[in-house]
Amino acid sequence: MSWIYLALITACFYALYNIFIKLSSTHIHEVAGAVILQIVAFILGAAWLIYLKINHVHTEMTSRGIWLAVLAGIFVGLAEIFSFIVFSKGVSASAGVPVIIGGSVLIAAVIGFLWLKESLTLTNILGLILIIGGVWLLSKGGKA
**CA 106 from chain center: how many Å?**
13
**CA 60 from chain center: how many Å?**
24
Cα atoms found within 13 Å of the Cα of residue 140, Cβ hemisphere only: 5
What pTM was computed for the model? 0.83
pLDDT in tens, the chain (144 residues): 888 899 889 888 999 999 999 999 999 999 999 999 999 999 999 999 999 999 999 999 999 999 999 999 999 999 999 999 999 999 888 888 888 998 899 999 999 999 999 999 999 999 999 999 988 888 786 665
Angle between helices 30-54 and 3-24 (to 10 degrees): 150
Q: What length does the chain have?
A: 144
> Per-residue pLDDT tens for 71-105?
999 999 999 999 999 999 998 888 888 889 988 99
